[in-house]
Amino acid sequence: MLKKLALGAAFALMTMTSAQAAEKVTVLLDWFINPDHAPIMVAEQIGAFKDAGLEVEIVPPADPSMPPRLVAAKQGDLAISYQPQLYMYAEQGLPLVRVGTIVNSPLNTVAVLESSGIKSMADFKGKKIGYSVSGVEEATLGTMLKQGGLALGDISMINVNFQLVSALMAGQVDGVIGGYRNFEATEMRDLGVEPKLFNVEDFGVPAYDELIVLANKDSVNDPKIKKFMEAMKKGTDYLLAHPQETWEAFAKTHPDLNNNLNKTAWIDTLPMFAKDPMALDVARYEGYSKFLFENKLIKKELPIGDYAVELK
């Protein structure tokens, strides 16, 4: 009897220790689950989070603007966001800091129909360009238009409320900005039209990280934050080595996303994932800060340590 009690107690202790070892990490996504989040999804697929002693909860947002603010309020551990927005959060005094990068290439592009006859930025004179979110898009487009000798006053910007592709296809606008080259371009091809893309970094806009990971400043040194990033790197490594296998696993887990658009995006985004998610390109972050400051989107350039770190 005593032996049974001792074994039972030992088993209970082991179970309790195992439960305690799994630290919970809540990750608030920027948007619904999609191939841009592949490194996180694959880290989960291969058990990298579990091996790191983490129990990761991945939460798509009801309101895409809220995840950074929830992390700032300590109602989540990590938020997926965008480098261009990071400076605004810093200026607003939100206690957020970039701890990692998922997609280290701009995805934003100005898209037109190949049949439109628009071949250069100069051809946009007098044209209508649709957008979804104001602010950075005006600065981006204004910089790009300069390459063709134009200014924002030479075109009309039309808010199409996230209906970028449908507005372009319907002829409401001549071009759109804010669509992603790894999604909207494929969507247009699926609809039977060929897009022509003007990628932002090819027309005077400094390169930036599209998708980043934010943490609350108070938790930057919490070991579970670094454990998460290290596990995500394992996910990235496995994804790049096994793109087809990981796509099939993703499609099986998310059957509603098993279509040509997402399959193509899964492959097209591979070269854009940060191979070292924790590495911080200081020059890139300072360069984009300067771009925003010169375009009067931020009032001052803050020290990079205020909003971005490289975990050690």
What's the pLDDT tens digit per position in 287-296?
999 999 999 9
Q: What confidence tens digit (pLDDT) does each residue in 58-75 have?
A: 999 988 889 999 999 999
Number of Cα atoms under 13 Å in the Cβ half of residue 191: 15
Shared domain check, 189 and 55: no
Single out the residue in 202, 234, 266 at which a domain terminates. Answer: 202
Is 312 contained in some domain?
A: no
Is 280 contained in some domain?
A: yes
Mean pLDDT value across the chain: 93
Is 77 contained in some domain?
A: yes
d(CA 101, CA 229): 9
Q: What confidence tens digit (pLDDT) does each residue in 182-200 have?
A: 999 999 999 999 999 999 9
| 144 alpha carbon, distance to own chain's centre | 22
pTM: 0.90
pLDDT for the residue numbered 20: 58
**Helix ranges restricted to H, the chain:** 2-21, 38-45, 48-51, 67-72, 83-91, 136-146, 164-169, 184-190, 223-241, 243-253, 260-268, 282-294
Residue 80 bridge partners (DSSP):
213
Is 250 contained in some domain?
A: yes
Shared domain check, 219 and 145: no
State the residue range of the domain holding 168: 108-202
Share of the chain above pLDDT 90, in %: 89
Single out the residue in 169, 202, 235 at which a domain terminates. Answer: 202
Shared domain check, 285 and 236: yes
Whether 70 contacts 76, CB under 8 Å? yes
Shared domain check, 178 and 118: yes
Check pLDDT > 90 for residue 1: no
Shared domain check, 93 and 119: no
Burial group, residue 146, by CB count within 10 angstroms (0-12, 13-18, 19+): middle
